[in-house]
Amino acid sequence: MSSVRTVEVSAIADTVARLCGEADLYLPEDVRRALTQAQADEPSPVGREVLERLLENADIAAEEKMPICQDCGLAIIFIDVGQDVHLTGGDLGEAINEGVRRGYQENYLRKSSCHPFSRVNTGDNTPAIIHTRIVPGDKVKLWVVPKGGGAENMSKVYLLTPAVGLAGVKKAIMDTVEAAGPNPCPPVILGVAVGGTFEQAAVAAKRTLLRKLDSVNPDPEAAVLEKELLEEVNKLGIGPAGLGGGTTCLKVFVELIPCHIASLPVVVNMQCHAARHKEAVL
Amino acid sequence: MSELIRLSPPLSEADVTSLKAGDKVLVSGTIYTGRDAAHKRIVETLAEGGTPPFPLEGAVIFYVGPSPPPPGRVIGAAGPTTSYRMDAYAPTLMEKGLRAMIGKGKRNDEVKQAMAKYKSVYLAAIGGAGALMARCIKEAEVIAYPELGPEAVRRLVVEDMPLFVVNDVHGGDLYQQGRQAYARR
């Protein structure tokens, strides 16, 4: 029998607080590299100017410790708990929320969580959206993904009929980007899940946004689809900030999942160019 | 693309009529913030015959919910929010004299028609450039609905805020024009 490692939930709260701040103040390096490359490749002068401003904005944010974007997002937390870990010292969910509360308060981040009808703000950006997995090992891995409302609102769930096939899936994805136009702050990143069930596909699409923009998909079938979709999306002409150009999308992530013989779910989770995510291992 | 055009609110009909989709402008002076919840309240106030929290004649409204100001700053990050959520309210404000809206993303046909009718323009700021935009904001004061937090109405004094004219009073639309120029499918 393997030994059990003890992790205090207060350490998880501290880590979540730190990651909330880092995620909202510092643009990830992979995103910065992608924006820099896009600026070199962009045919539109206005598009190049927008990309230059976005890079300048990231520099100012880091220098002045200002959020990259005023929409500091709802706090999406992915947590992988090793099955040889014993969490002690309190409630894991409450510890994560405590981390979010502190991280958003201490770093002057905007709190955007509100009641669906009264629209009264919860005041501390909780409750966090928490996706937990139990995995082999004795570590706890955490990802904080602040997700803005503008891009999230342009995301789509399709429950297609299998008859439409690959062409129908591609059409659904293109339709989503086309309908979104300038709204989700292009250049966007598309997190796509094809297959699974209604809820599985939605979470899987969001989980793809944890990947690095310069990573290679280990599934060769998905990798080909990612490349084809990126080329097609960038022919739409929407461009940086939607003002016209060749850079509508920085990266497409695709996850293929087995599904019911009756079903063909497709989820497109739209991410803005401020693709914030930070991770840590405890 | 034209030279930079300077605008200082309050704006006259002549100020906005000369603008064309694709023009680059720099706004300096007093503007007001408002997004979803504030728009709802302002339109309700007008419907009841009340006074809006700021004079609408010639006004410029910025669709923004800023992040809290860090110590020593007047405001936090302050980029535009997506504008279509204000489409239901915008024509009423234009009818009362609103001359320009600052945001990002598409407007519906009703809003575009109201822009032509009431002589008002839609200006885009670069979405997601909140730290950069904050540098243009020299003063910020909550003037209404403080309980709405980030959605409260603020009076801002801005200097050289860089914007693109997206919809002009003549039916021009930079989102359509820009896309058509670069579409390859």
Q: How many helices (H) and strands (E) does chain B have?
A: 6, 7
User: What is chain A's pLDDT, residue by residue, as a tens digit (282 residues)?
Assistant: 568 999 999 999 999 999 999 999 999 999 999 999 999 999 999 999 999 999 999 999 999 999 999 999 999 999 999 999 999 999 999 999 999 999 999 999 999 999 999 989 999 999 999 999 999 999 999 999 999 999 999 999 999 999 999 999 999 999 999 999 999 999 999 999 999 999 999 999 999 999 999 999 999 999 999 999 999 999 999 999 999 999 999 999 999 999 999 999 999 999 999 999 999 999
Structure tokens at A254: 């695709």
Determine the 3-state secondary structure of A185 from DSSP. coil
pLDDT in tens, B23-80: 999 999 999 999 999 999 999 999 999 999 999 999 999 999 999 999 999 999 999 9
C-beta of residue A225 within 8 angstroms of C-beta of residue A167: no
The residues, ordered by sequence, that sit 6+ positions from A221 with a Cβ below 8 Å of its Cβ are A256
Portion 226-255 of A in contact with B at CB < 8 A: 232, 235-239, 241-246
Structure tokens at A20: 């909330």
* pLDDT recorded at residue B3: 78
Domain boundaries, chain A: 5-26+68-147, 150-275
Find out if CATH 1.10.8.60 is the number for domain B4-65+74-182. Answer: no
Cβ contact, residue pair A46, B1, below 8 Å: yes
* pLDDT recorded at residue B10: 97
* pLDDT recorded at residue B1: 47
C-beta of residue B79 within 8 angstroms of C-beta of residue A70: yes
Measured between beta carbons, the chain B residues lying within 8 angstroms of A239 are 178-179, 182
pLDDT at B121 over 60: yes
**Cα separation, B101 vs B115, whole angstroms:** 10
Lookup result for tokens 């450039």 = B129
B-chain residue closest to A244, CA distance: B178
Domain boundaries, chain B: 4-65+74-182
The average pLDDT across B93-114 equals 98
C-beta of residue A82 within 8 angstroms of C-beta of residue A138: yes
Task: Label residue B185 by pLDDT band (50, 70, 90).
Answer: confident
The domain A150-275: what is its CATH number? 3.30.1330
C-beta of residue A213 within 8 angstroms of C-beta of residue A31: yes
Which ipTM score applies to this complex?
Answer: 0.95
Measured between beta carbons, the chain B residues lying within 8 angstroms of A230 are none
